[in-house]
Structure 1
Amino acid sequence: MTSTKDFETFLNANPNAAFHDWLRESAEPYWTKATAHRFTEELAEGTLDPQICARYLVQDYAFVDSFVSLLGYAVAYAPSMPQKRPFAGFLAAVTSEENDYFLRSFQALEVPESEWRSPQLAPVTAKLLSVLQDSGRSGSYPLVLATLLAAEWSYLTWGLACGDRRPQEFWMAEWIDLHAVPEFERFVTWLRDETSRVGTTAPPEVQQQMCRTFCHMMELEERFFDHAYEPEAGC
């Protein structure tokens, strides 16, 4: 498939494609760089430096707070109960099992509480939070879908790419599991289908807005992994 500037042209060239295919193709090369990153490969192989993992998790935990708020907006903006229910279920999982994983990992990696409770945000983290907050406050269900899809579909992609590889350390193995379990895959599949359902019939200007947001998110996702390898960033 060939990436194009608008969905209609893309669909004419790829009649069997879906709206989410256009989003992914438009986000290259950031999509591939983020979903096949050095970080995720080292994570799967169990060779990820603990300090790098700690630096990443501290920033990601800061991301989660705004992400949870965005899920709340998704519940509010979803047009009916069948759309609200998957978001509500995923929101419950993030605020329970995933939150517990973070707290146990910080303890195992000896991250001081002051660092994960009040972290110094990296520039890329601040930009990600800004995108989440802007999408949430936009009042736009399509924009919220595009933002969430970029974050969750990319993580499912690298999670599944890990295959059966699981390091001995739980703070690496469980991070893979959280993004490769069937429950998460079902949610992301539904989210992808819902984004395509909404995006396919959206006005061209809304489609373009969704595409710009998705692409910007993927650019930031790659940079977010890159940041973990920057020693000057601190823990």
Structure 2
Amino acid sequence: MTLHEFHAGAPGVRFTDWMRDQAEPHWTRMTTHRFARELGADSLDDAVAGRYLVQDYAFVGAFVSLLGTAISLAPTMPSKRAFAQFAAAVTSDENDFFLRSFAALGIPEEAWSSPRLHPVTRDFLEVLQGAARSDSYPRVLAVLVAAEWSYLTWAKACPAARPGRFWLSEWIELHAIPPFEAFVTWLREETDRTGASAGPDTRRMMGETFRRMMALEEAFFDAAYEEPA
């Protein structure tokens, strides 16, 4: 369905809603994934959680660099401030969470500081680094809104009673707390504004980028269940 057709069939629907629609079935598969359900139910195996966290931490550096690109390309000071504040949270609270989790799970430093990358992690890195090199604010937004909006979605769907293991409960909380939800709300609005003023080729690129991200997010959850070769 083209963007024009989508709006014709659903007046008033946001550009980010169209992006999400273009990303099916990956969006639904990821946001309702077994990983997210087991995480919320406190039934996720520690080995699965550990593999996931090690691979996720492997591209935190590239993700923060992408936020730096977003700060550079953002057209207004309020937009730059929103990205800068989020980058500060990722490099402080979230980074601290990873280090405490690795220690609690008994994962040695060499395993998380120089991990053997899963193929889907390498693909993620290529998307993040490619967006950072592109000098395209719309492309950067498409990557970021896919990542953060999908995480807010599954985290908000988790039961109110949190898991007993902090590496599960805090991972949910980091993606369900009001400041994170406020950032995602703003990020969607920023993406809506950018998409509304973009040409058809840019809108198409944003939709394709969002869909690619969601396919990778789904595959990344799948990969956590794979035993190392």
Q: TM-score, normalised by structure 1?
A: 0.96
CA distance in 2, matches of 1:157, 1:135: 23
Partner of 2:161: 165
Give the CA deviation at 1:8. Answer: 1.6
Alignment equivalent of 1:33, drawn from 24, 29, 33? 29
CA distance in 1, matches of 2:6, 2:116: 41
The answer to which of 216-225 and 161-170 deviates more is 161-170
Q: Which runs of 5+ in 1 are unaligned?
A: none
Paired amino acid for 1:48:
L
Give the CA deviation at 1:165. Answer: 2.7
- Give the 5 Å matches for 1:150-229: 150-229=146-225
CA distance in 1, matches of 2:118, 2:133: 23
Paired amino acid for 1:104:
R
Alignment equivalent of 2:52, drawn from 44, 53, 56? 56
1:71 paired with 2:67, answer yes
- What stretches of structure 1 move > 4 A for 4+ residues in a row? none
Give the CA deviation at 1:163. Answer: 3.5
CA distance in 2, matches of 1:143, 1:8: 20
CA distance in 2, matches of 1:72, 1:114: 27
Give the CA deviation at 1:214. Answer: 0.2
Give the CA deviation at 1:232. Answer: 2.5
Partner of 1:85: 81
Paired amino acid for 1:46:
D
CA distance in 1, matches of 2:171, 2:121: 19
Q: Which runs of 5+ in 2 are unaligned?
A: none
Contact 2:54 2:112 in 1 (8 A): yes
| CA-atom RMSD in angstroms | 0.7
CA distance in 2, matches of 1:19, 1:225: 26
Figure out how many residues of one structure are paired with residues of the other and give that number. 229
**Percent identity between the aligned chains?**
58
CA distance in 2, matches of 1:82, 1:181: 21
Alignment equivalent of 1:17, drawn from 7, 13, 23? 13
1:140 paired with 2:128, answer no
Listed one character per residue, the Cα deviations across residues 52-91 of structure 1 (whole Å, up to 9, x for unaligned) are: 0000000000121111000000000001101101000000
CA distance in 2, matches of 1:54, 1:29: 27
